[in-house]
Structure 1
Amino acid sequence: MLLAVAAFLWTGGAVAGEEVIADNPLVEIPGGPFAFGNDTGDENERPRHLVKGQAFAMNQTEITNAQYRRFVAATGHRAAFYDRHPSLGLPDHPVVGVSFADAEAFCAHYGLKLPSEQEYERAARGPQGARFPWGDAPVDPTRANYGRDACCDEEASDGHDMTAPARSFPLGASREGLLNLVGNVWEWTRDFYAPYGGEAPPELAGKYRVLRGGAWNSDPTRLSTTHRLAYDPDFRFAANGGFRCVRTPD
């Protein structure tokens, strides 16, 4: 099922906003307190605590191959590593094979930035701290594109061997109508990896960025809205890593 693109989009009760990036509107996320972190997840997700967040706006979907190609054509930036892959490179699928710097450059071209971990988590789980974008009901193949129970291999019962089109899985939409905030592709955030409420050890400090959301080959345990993955920002060969952008008030 595809959602029709127009000046305004129906997005599960939310109205999508300005299209800074063609075909990928920015959706407004209200400010206010929200639950951040998870006391029952991995150690690096703890503790759960309240955060007072500012309003921001986030792309409704992951950045697609078509959108990234327009950026490459306009700037001369290098193409995504899987740009011409017969499955991963399809125009309406999320771009993969991009480093942190590639993703950062794309967002900056449009006057945007990569989301922080807090922005990603607020968009994905709402103010009450749901486990998934759609609520607390368990993940299933109608709501997200993910892999087998044992990491890390694709599973086709959701209809896709690898990535799915960025506008897939409307039943998995977030409170504000954003799509695929869990599953499909991991998403870069702008934060360096560190424990909550503390400093990263010297071997990690300032070296790794955080990916969020899980991907088409992730086992279901990695698809929660609070799961964190430390990742080498220079690595651009992942077939399961993409991004989306945000606009913030600062």
Structure 2
Amino acid sequence: MGAAPSAGRRLGWKAGLSAGAALLIVGIAALARHRAGPPARCAPGMVALGPRCCGEGQRLDDAGRCAGAPSRCGAGLSAAPAGCVAPGATVRIAAGTLRLGPSDWEAQGVVEAREVFVPAFSLDAFEVTEQRYAACVAAGACAALPLRGEPGVPVTGVTLEESARYCAFAGGSLPSRNQLAFAAAGPSSRRYPWGDTGAVCRRVAFGLRAGPCGWGATGPELAGSRPDGAAVHADGRVFDLAGNVAEWAAPDRPGDGMSGTHGGSWTDEAASALRTWNRRLVPVSTRSPDLGFRCAYPP
């Protein structure tokens, strides 16, 4: 028979086992924390720089802009010398019935429950960017505005009239509140453009100024930088119907000095601002760094 292990060897073996078990527990806990944490904010092809998602190879300048030529951009965006830019694409929205209020308890007492038939129309897949608006200014059809200097971000600080003038130049008009709501909610009355749950930072550009998705932002994200939050339709996807910039809708009663904005923006800190039924009435002369627009067109 062999000699029994010494007391020192037994103690060393037990200590090694305990250390291994402790490392395993720490590893499992770290994996659990990683899986339970918030999803990555930026889509593949983009990198998180401060509160922004910029193209790979870019830097964040002192004004909070994505600067420099990107080596890669997110899916659907093109890499240009001045940054990542969304195309001027449109999506056809099939006719259907918009149902607001009854299916969402949070809408009770906030929005008038109603059903309305929305005829087919086409809608900009992306919010109107500084690049597109600058082309209208160059053509002499739009008023010049102070721009941030990033071609791919939505144009902001634009009044209702200026937005409508651009849409006329582009061959369309400002969408009605029913068109914007239906593009976001769809015939199934989604709570958010992507579905009924999951208002997380990788899907929507909100809470970028004072959390929860970022701190210190001074303007919106690149149009189309959150592809996971797009509203899916049979003919394509519509981006940023929640968050990034709130969007002008054509007034219900032209001439009364007020109109609705939809979708919430990069400044909003609560997910309730992102609901497909959420609407705010503001004066038509409003200029705000979190207010932009997109256009609707005949189908």
Does the 8 Å contact 1:214/1:222 carry over to 2? Answer: yes
State the 1:54 CA deviation: 0.3
| 5+ residue gaps, structure 2 | 1-42, 44-73, 79-85
Matching of residues 80-159 of structure 1 within 5 Å: 80-81=145-146, 83=147, 85=148, 89-147=149-207, 153-155=209-211, 157=213
- For residue 33 of structure 1, what is the aligned residue in structure 2? 97
User: Partner residue of 1:163?
Assistant: 220
Aligned-pair CA distance for 1:66: 0.6
Q: Percent identity?
A: 29
| 8 Å contact kept, 1:32–1:54 | yes
Cα RMSD (Å): 2.4
Counterpart-to-counterpart distance in 2, 1:135 and 1:77: 36
1:56 pairs, out of 105, 121, 131, with 121
Q: 1:221 Cα deviation (Å)? A: 1.7
Residues 12-23 of structure 1 aligned to structure 2 (within 5 Å): 23=87
Q: How does 1:230-245 map to 2 (within 5 A)?
A: 230-236=281-287, 238-245=288-295
How many Å separate the matches in 2 of 1:74 and 1:247?
Answer: 20
1:46 aligned residue: 112
Report if aligned partners of 1:36, 1:118 keep a CA contact under 8 Å in 2.
no
Structure 1 residues 189, 42: closer, same or farther in 2, change over 3 A? farther
The whole-number CA distance in structure 1 between the counterparts of 2:76 and 2:189 is 29
1:35 CA drift (Å)? 1.4
Q: Distance in 2 between matches of 1:130 and 1:222?
A: 14
Q: Deviations over 1:187-213 (max 9, x none)?
A: 00002379xxxxxxxxxx822110000
CA distance in 2, matches of 1:112, 1:146: 28
- 47, 55, 76: which one aligns with 1:4: 76
Question: Mapping of 1:169-208 within 5 angstroms?
Answer: 169-176=226-233, 177-192=237-252, 206-208=256-258
Runs of 4+ in 1 over 6 A off after TM superposition: none
Query: What SS class does the counterpart of residue 69 from structure 1 fall into?
Result: helix
Counterpart-to-counterpart distance in 1, 2:130 and 2:157: 10
Structure with greater helix percent:
2
Give yes or no for contact 1:144–1:158 (8 Å, CA) kept in 2: no
Partner of 1:222: 273
Contact 2:174 2:295 in 1 (8 A): yes
Q: 1:231 to 1:46 in 2, by over 3 A?
A: same
Structure 1's unaligned 5+ residue stretches are 7-21, 195-204
Question: Would you say how many aligned residue pairs link Structure 1 and Structure 2?
Answer: 213
Cα distance in 1 for partners of 2:185, 2:284 equals: 25
Q: Which amino acid aligns with 1:62?
A: E
Shift of 1:5: 5.9
1:62/1:166 contact within 8 Å kept: yes
Paired residue type of 2:224: R
2: distance between equivalents of 1:60 and 1:158? 25
Relative to the length of structure 1, the TM-score reads 0.78
Q: Deviations over 1:142-192 (max 9, x none)?
A: 1101127xxxx4437369823111011111010221100000001000023
**Alignment match, 1:212:** 262
